[in-house]
Amino acid sequence: MNTILSRTDLAEDARYYEYTSAVNPHLPPVPIELYKSKLHRTGPTRIIPLDLSSQLGCAGPATGPTVSASYLRICPNESLTTTSSASAQLYYVIRGKGRSESEYGVIEWRPGDVFVLPESGPVKHLAEDDTALYHVNDEPLVTYLSSKPASPSFEPVLYPGDRILSELKKVSEEPGATTRNRDAIILGNPTMRQIKSATPTLWAAIVLMNPGEVQRPHRHNSIAVDIIISAEPGSYTLLGNAVDDEGNIINPHRVDWESQAAFVTPPHLWHGHYNESGKPAMVMAVQDAGFYEHIRTLNIQFTGLKTTGREYKA
């Protein structure tokens, strides 16, 4: 027999807010943060959370309100097990060779590979060499909803590093490539019927920057937790709240790129990429953009096309 709940008790926790003062609540902003590669280069086998939960005021570990990123350092011939309540996980092999074992089977990997897993039990990573993996999942979103994935929503997929490079080369040489904002590919999964994304929540784009190239500012509603695949001094990102009439970022914050380091691009900020190093540079942007695409709110905006010369004026 169902218990009849007291109207008085149920109403005790009700709150009422005036609309215009409550419609845009003040939330701690997502900070711009750089996590240098030295964090995963030495030391024992371990998980290195890139944790901003104290700044965000949310349950940790969390690199953003909906995503959590970490470095996994694994010494030669050792293993490391990761566990999470995430609905989607993405791994990028920064360096090393080995395999990952889960309830779905064994995935063998090498430098430059990307692979994705749906919700799962523990994942055991075994390294043959000195290894570092970049791991991103959507556990903060699942935790916020106090939910648990009901069932896997996609199949595991491996994106071999050499295939990623060949596809990136292909799009950069296509007719009309010079009229785009950037040379980049988005990793896809056939399970995603409407959106072009690696998982329902996590979206990954690999971006190539040639020497002297400027990728003009853009912005989006998703957070980006970027891993810098390769870069020399002189490659960097500028970020800011606004752009001027020529599309240049006003009072920008500069993040200098470092190979095998990661950085956080907060939602809504204009950001452009600049390569003055004299050598090609590459970055992989991992975002919660799959989630935003599904609810039709990603809203990517661009200020212009990529250029081969330095246009930004501080």
d(C-alpha 212, C-alpha 234), whole Å: 10
Looking at residue 124, what is its pLDDT?
Answer: 98
Q: Are 197 and 288 in contact (CB under 8 A)?
A: no
Check if the beta carbon of residue 265 is closer than 8 Å to that of residue 137.
Answer: no
Q: Once rounded to an integer, what is the mean pLDDT over residues 191-218?
A: 93
Q: Cα–Cα distance between 206 and 198 in angstroms, integer?
A: 12
Percentage of the chain exceeding pLDDT 90: 86
The three-class DSSP label of residue 11 is helix
Contacts of 40 (CB under 8 A, 6+ apart): 48, 71, 72, 73, 94, 132, 260
Cross-strand pairs, 33: 264
The per-residue pLDDT for range 60-104, each reduced to its tens digit, is 899 999 999 999 999 999 999 999 999 999 999 999 999 999 999
> Of 183 and 92, which is predicted with more confidence?
92
Quick check: 33 and 264 in contact, CB under 8 A?
Answer: yes
Q: Does 305 score more than 80 pLDDT?
A: no
Q: C-alpha 11: how far from its chain's center?
A: 41
pLDDT of residue 182: 85
**68 neighbors 30 (Cβ within 8 angstroms):** no
Q: Is the pLDDT of residue 251 over 50?
A: yes
What is the end-to-end Cα distance of the chain in Å, rounded? Answer: 71
**pTM, entire model:** 0.93
Domain residue ranges in the chain: 33-302
What was the pLDDT predicted at 312?
Answer: 34
Q: What mean pLDDT is predicted for residues 287-309? A: 87
281 pLDDT above the threshold of 60: yes
Q: Give Cβ neighbours of residue 20 (< 8 Å, ≥ 6 apart).
A: none
The stretch 249-268 carries a mean pLDDT of: 97
Is the pLDDT reported for residue 313 higher than 60?
no
Name the architecture of domain 33-302: Sandwich (2.60)
Give me the amino acid identity at 275.
N
Tens-place pLDDT, residues 146-162? 988 888 889 999 999 99
**Band of pLDDT at residue 196, cut at 50, 70 and 90:** very high
Contact 179, 305 (CB under 8 A): yes
**Does the pLDDT at position 309 exceed 60?**
no
d(CA 83, CA 119): 10
HSE (CB half, 13 Å, CA atoms) of 118? Answer: 16
